[in-house]
Amino acid sequence: MHERHRPRAGCCHHGWVPDDENVVAFPQAPEAIELRHLRAFVAVAEELNFGRAAERLYITQPALSRQIRTLEQLLGCTLLRRSTHRVELTVAGDALLGRVRPILREVDATVSTVQSVGGEHVERVARLWEPLARAAATDAGLQEQRTAYERMLATFEAPPEVTVTPMNANGVPSLLVAPRPDEAPRLMHLHGGSYCLGSAFGYRPLAGALALAADAGVLVPDYRLAPEHPFPAAIDDAVAAYRWMLDRGVAAEEVVLCGDSSGGGLVVSVLLSLAQRRLPQPGGAVLMCPWVDLPLNLQDEVTEILRRSTDAYLGAHPADDPVVSPLTADLTGLPPLLIQAATGDQLLDNANALTDRAREHGVDARLDLYSVDAHVFQLFWSFLPEAAEALQKAGRFADDITRPAPRRAATGRRARAAGTRAAPRPRAGGG
C-alpha cells in the first residue's frame, strides 16, 4: 500500500481516499432527520435555554446539544445563536419553528389514531366516563348529570399523605388539600365540569396528587355553578379566593392557578379579570385539557353538549366577551402557562389554539401533549401512567414558582443530594 493511500480521518468511506484528491461532501439528507431532532429544536427554541429544554425532554444537555448540531448539519444552516448568557433564534430557526410545530402535532395525532384503544387503562377510563357521557348525550336532568359526575370522581381517593381541611376563603366555601395544612396554600385549582357540574369535594384526589407533586397546599374553591349562578359568579368566587390567598401573606408571584377542562378556561378568565381589576397576576398557571372556545368556533363531535353548558353558564351574556373567550382576547401580560392536552381528546384544538394565541401576545406558553384518548386524563393519575407523568410535570412547574428563593435553594441542595422528590405515580389497583 502506497503511503499516500491511507484512511482519511473522519471520512465515512469504505475505500481509500488519495491525499491529493478533494473529498466530496455528502449531499444534504433531510430524510435522515429524526423526530427527536425536531423535538429538541422546538424545546430549545421555546425555552431559549438549554438547561430547561433538557429537563423538559428528560435528556442531558450534552445529548441535547448533539441533537441540535446534527439537525443543523443535516439542514446545512445555523438555527440557534448560542452565547454564554443567551440563546437566540436565527432567521432560519424562526422559519423552521413556525413550520415544524404543526408537523409534530400531526405526527402525534397520527400516532394516537393508529395506536390500539383496547388497552386495559384506556378501557377503564372509558368505563369511568361512560355514565356521565350517556347522561349528557341523552339530555338527562342536570341533577342526574351532577350525580353521575360525583360518582365517577368518588371512585378515587385522595393520597393518604395529604389532609383535607374546610376553609372559608373570603366567603367562598373551599377545601385546603395539603401535605402541611398549617402552611398557607400556594396553588388554587378550579375544577372542571362544564361550569355546571363538579365540586371541591369530588376533586380532593386530583388536588391531593397535585399537592404532593408540587409539595404545596392546594386550595379548591367550591365556586358557584350554572345555571343557578351564571356568569360572572364563578369568576367572582375564584378572584375572591385568590385574594384570600394573598391576604394570608403569600406573594402573588409565588401563586399558581390550575384548572381542568372548563376549570382551565375559568383560570384564563380569572387572569384576564385580574388584569381588568388591576390586581397582581399569579406566578403561573397550569391548564389541563382546557376548554376555552365558548363561542364553539372550533369543530368537534361534542358541540351540542358544550353548547348547552355554554348557554347555562353565560345566560344572556355575549359569548364573544374576551374574558370568556380568550381565543379573541389580548393575552399580553399573562404569566407563564403550562398547557397539557391529550392527543386523542376531542378538545385538543382548544389547547393548540390557546397556545398559539398566547405566544402571539408574548406569553411564555408551553404545550405538553400526551398520547391518551381521554379528556382530562389527569383525573386518572392513580392508574394511568401518562396522567401521573403529567401531574409530576405540573408539580415541577408549580414548584419552580411557588417556593420563595431561600427555600427553593435549600430544597435544590437537598434534592441534588437525595435525588428527585417523590411525586404521584400510578398505584397498583388504584382508584
- 178-202 pLDDT tens trace: 999 999 999 999 999 999 999 999 9
- 256-275 pLDDT tens trace: 999 999 999 999 999 999 99
Residue 113 confidence (pLDDT): 54
Residue 276 confidence (pLDDT): 97
CA 416 to chain centre: 25
Q: Supply the Cα-derived Rg of the chain in whole angstroms.
A: 24
Residue 114 confidence (pLDDT): 55
Q: Which set of grid coordinates corresponds to residue 222? A: 367550591
Residue 161 confidence (pLDDT): 95
**d(Cα 137, Cα 144) in Å, to the nearest integer?**
12
pTM over cut 0.75:
no
- Label residue 227 by pLDDT band (50, 70, 90): very high
- 318-366 pLDDT tens trace: 999 999 999 999 999 999 999 999 999 989 999 999 999 999 999 999 9
DSSP secondary structure string, 161-177? T-EEEEEEETTEEEEEE
Residue 348 is which amino acid? L
Residue 58 backbone phi and psi in degrees, to 5:
60, 40
**d(Cα 377, Cα 380) in Å, to the nearest integer?**
6
Higher pLDDT, 112 or 417: 112
Flag the least confident range among 101-110, 152-161, 279-288. Answer: 101-110
Beta strand 172-178 pairing with 163-169: antiparallel
Residue 404 confidence (pLDDT): 62
Please tell us whether the domain made up of 30-114 is placed in CATH 1.10.10.10. yes
Higher pLDDT, 171 or 296: 171
What stretch(es) of the chain map to CATH 3.40.50.1820? 124-418
DSSP label of 171: T
Mean pLDDT over residues 74-82, rounded? 91
**Alpha helices (runs of H) in 16-60, residue ranges in sequence order:** 35-47, 50-57
Q: Tell me the fold of 124-418.
A: Rossmann fold (3.40.50)
pLDDT at residue 130 above 60?
yes
Q: Which set of grid coordinates corresponds to residue 79? A: 438555527
Nearest to 365 by CA among 335, 394, 389: 335
What stretch(es) of the chain map to CATH 1.10.10.10? 30-114
